[in-house]
Amino acid sequence: MNNLRMMPAAIACLFCASSAIAADYNPSWYIGSNIHAAETDETFGAGNRGYGLDVRVGKPLSEMWDMQINARYTRAENNGKRYQQNTLGADALYMFSREAVRPYLVMGVAIERDRSNARIGGADSTSPSASAGVGVQFALNDQWSAQAEWRKVHGYLRGNDFGFSQASNSILSVGFNYAFDKPAAPARAAAYTPPPEPVVMAQATPPVPTPPPPPPVPQYQKITLSATELFAFNSANLSTPQPKLDDIASALNANLQINRVLITGYADRIGSNQYNLKLSEKRANSVKNYLLNKGVAGERLNAVGKGESNPVVECNNKKRVDLIACLEPNRRVEIEQFSFDQRVK
């Protein structure tokens, strides 16, 4: 069982290699099954090596937490002496990443039933237990993933059948998970289509009344809003109040001829490309939702994220605090195809 004792260190290496930044996750329920090897407590009388099977049902609760309900069967035999353990429990998984490699910490509670024929007349106990360990999931495709896990299970034995009150088992398991639903595909921003040129109809019979002068052509401009004014660092939740967004919403509600307003979110280069793209999309959608809540019709607004592309400044600061401050102009939200009767200050 020396290899079994080395597995926690091997899995822990994946924690160091994996990014702590969470990506978008699949919220679907999933089922899974493992086979496992167990280092059982020798005081049960059947040696210290066992094997078994796990089944589970799981559900991601957030970007960092999973919940699993599991049932486990373990059996060990040695020279005719047999030990058997059945457990039913609930686990909480703290996910360090939602990328292809997903290391996690696991903590759980369970009801376990231990049975052994090593004592005269046999021994049988139903008791509570607690467990903790480390694991990692490997994404194989949108719905399948592999899972490897090591945990320590500590049982608090009840009754006097076994003659001792506490037992400790180590379990190493490997298996697969299947998610019932595929993750939703990211929405694509609709391409901007310029309005058609007006068609002038020739008048067959003059004279005709002089038509009124056409309305003035809207003067379009691009509004750039600093992400520092809108959001906390590394967040897509709008801070309050937002007087500039209030002015923009008022201008849009007063000028209904303004359509196809494009809201573009940008991020700086700190973090992975995928994470920055998702963050910029969330920020653009936060601004869009704010304008929707102010009465602006949804068909007039499009929100897109462009991640760390089109930087305004380039910075090479060594200290992270100085680098974040220098890259502030790159963290922004731009609103285009927009006209104002009054300039937003």
Report the Cα–Cα distance between both ends of the chain, in Å, rounded: 70
- Residue found under tokens 């694991």: 135
What is the model's pLDDT at position 17? 46
pLDDT under 50: residue ranges of the chain: 14-22, 340-345
What is the model's pLDDT at position 138? 92
Asked if residue 231 lies in contact with residue 238, where contact means CB atoms within 8 angstroms, the answer is yes
CA dist 75 and 59 (Å) reads 28
| CA proximity to 283, closest of 223, 331, 337, 248 | 331
Measured from the Cβ of residue 337, the count of other Cβ atoms closer than 10 Å reads 18
- Residue found under tokens 């068609």: 199
Percentages (nearest 5) of helix, strand, coil residues in the chain:
20, 40, 40
What is the model's pLDDT at position 166? 84
Give the predicted TM-score (pTM) of the model: 0.49
Q: What is the pLDDT of residues 234-262, one digit of tens each?
A: 888 888 888 988 988 898 888 888 888 89
What is the model's pLDDT at position 5? 57
User: Cα-atom radius of gyration of the chain, to the nearest Å?
Assistant: 31
Asked if residue 140 lies in contact with residue 150, where contact means CB atoms within 8 angstroms, the answer is no
